[in-house]
Amino acid sequence: MPLSDYIVTIGLEVHCQIKTHTKMFCGCRTSFGDEPNSNICPTCLGLPGALPVLNEFAIERTILSGMLLDCKTPPTVVWDRKNYFYPDMPKDYQITQMDLPLCLGGEVPLYAHNYPKDAQKNIQNPGKKVDLTRIHLEEDVAKSTHQAKNTLIDFNRAGTPLMEIVSEPDIDSAEETFAYLKSLQQILIAGGISDADMEKGQMRCDVNISLRKTKSEPLGTKIELKNMNSTSAVRRAIHYETERQATALDNGELLTQSTWRWDEDLGETQEMRGKEDAHDYRYFPDPDLLPVDTAAYIEKVRSLVPELPHEKFARFQSDLGLTEYDASVITSDVHLCAYFESAEAGAKTPGKKVANWIINNLLGLLNEKSLEISAAPVTPEKLAEILNLIESGTISNSQAKELFGALWEAPEKDPALLAKELGFEPADTGAIAGLIDEVIAANPEKVAEIQGGNEKLLNFLTGQVMKASRGKANPKMVTDGLRAKLL
């Protein structure tokens, strides 16, 4: 049977580091790129006699994450020990949550612009929201670097506050998985929960995949792809693994619940070990940590819930006149969105024009120079000043583009003064009126057509006036002047 004859079911376990200064159960600093094993203490090393102390900020941020994703928080939560032997956890257990986690239920909306580019024209379930099971808080493990005959362990990461966001088996394809990860990442960044940078290990995921022939059948055998750290790699791995499972089932092979890894170089999944069930971890309440009442935390973070990307997406269209495409581009990055909102607040021109300038000019230069929006030399306030110079008729659109380029190289300068340095003085109103009269007199046939109903030719006459003014006239004012005289 081809893969299309099988129903693919996917569930995700996303591990996301919370943006905190210290670890979950000790005062060691959290960081990325420091000298290995430089941020450690007896507690995060699991030495005998060391006791954990809760990081309340991490608890608050986990509850806030639940609010962003429409989860519910129980009135009391507890901490459990998940027991296993592995070199990345020297005390042989991980402090986590099992029966009473910080967040239950919830959902992740799949933003259309977060699907892979080649899949955006054929989204199978537009507007879909993936149901969540839970979000629990735990400590991260150490980083293992496997070599040919040994393994290096860096405990700097061990003990970092780590949320595990568990979805229901509610995802149908690699493309939905891609959109889920991107949308979740975008929401967590917007809420200030995490930078969620997969390349830095701040966000990783385990992908659970099973195949069955009909919806009436129970879910097929679950195969887990472990520790995926790239959305594009996740997509490739799912495509490969679903084809592998379909081929195995067609050949009559019996799949067993197991954990696999994705080999990026070979482009294939490889089996690691049999998959454990919950009872294999022998969960029990951690005797060193008391249950936590959540009411005070809930009240404290309720006011911190920001306007979410999909809410901004809707508002930018309804209130500011952006197109669906413009709004999707602007809201796709929290820093770009903040830039737009600052520029729009200071501009006297409609929001649509502000968005056009950012998308067509600012992003173009950023891409050309391989810069992030945070590194843009032209501030949103100065972009607003440029747009206001256009709106007032001081400079034309073409002059504004030249001014923008000059300001990029000299961002400390005032836009209005720089425009004068470039010779962009507005043309005299009386002189422009005279040029309009000259162009009308020189084009009687065009004038007759315009007065006969072909108003598109106003653009031709506007161009003639602009040429005569050497680009100093304001195109809108010229067109309005021509319209007043001819219609």
Q: How many whole angstroms separate alpha carbon 366 and alpha carbon 377?
A: 10
d(CA 409, CA 375): 13
Residue 92 near residue 83, CB atoms below 8 Å? yes
Whose tokens are 């693994």? That residue is 241
Residues 6 or more apart whose Cβ sits within 8 Å of residue 45 = 90, 155, 158
Q: Where are the beta strands (DSSP E) in 23-88?
A: 76-77, 80-83
- 8 Å CB contact between 326 and 320: no
Q: Show Cβ contacts of residue 222 under 8 Å, excluding neighbours closer than 6 positions.
A: 208, 209, 210, 257, 275
How far apart (Å, rounded) are the C-alpha atoms in residues 194 and 15? Answer: 11
Q: Where are the domains of the chain?
A: 3-301, 309-421, 429-486
pTM of the model: 0.85
Which residue from 367, 385, 472 is spatially nearest to 424, judged by alpha carbons?
472
Domain 429-486 falls in which CATH fold? Arc Repressor Mutant, subunit A (1.10.10)
Residue 183: name the closest of 317, 9, 302, 12 by CA. 12
DSSP characters for 308-352?
PHHHHHHHHHHHH---HHHHHHHTTSHHHHHHHHHHHHH-SS-HH
Per-residue pLDDT tens listing for the chain (487 residues) = 567 789 999 999 999 999 999 999 999 999 878 999 999 999 999 899 999 999 999 999 999 999 999 999 999 999 999 998 878 888 889 999 998 999 999 999 999 999 999 999 999 999 999 999 999 999 999 988 888 889 899 999 999 999 999 999 999 999 999 999 999 999 999 999 999 999 888 999 999 999 999 888 999 999 999 989 999 999 999 999 999 999 999 998 889 999 999 999 999 999 987 766 656 778 999 999 999 999 999 999 999 999 999 999 999 999 999 999 999 999 999 999 999 999 999 999 999 999 999 999 999 999 999 999 999 999 999 999 999 998 887 888 888 999 999 999 999 999 999 998 888 876 667 777 888 888 888 998 888 888 888 888 888 988 888 888 777 677 777 888 888 888 7
Torsion angles phi and psi, residue 88, rounded to 5: -85, 0
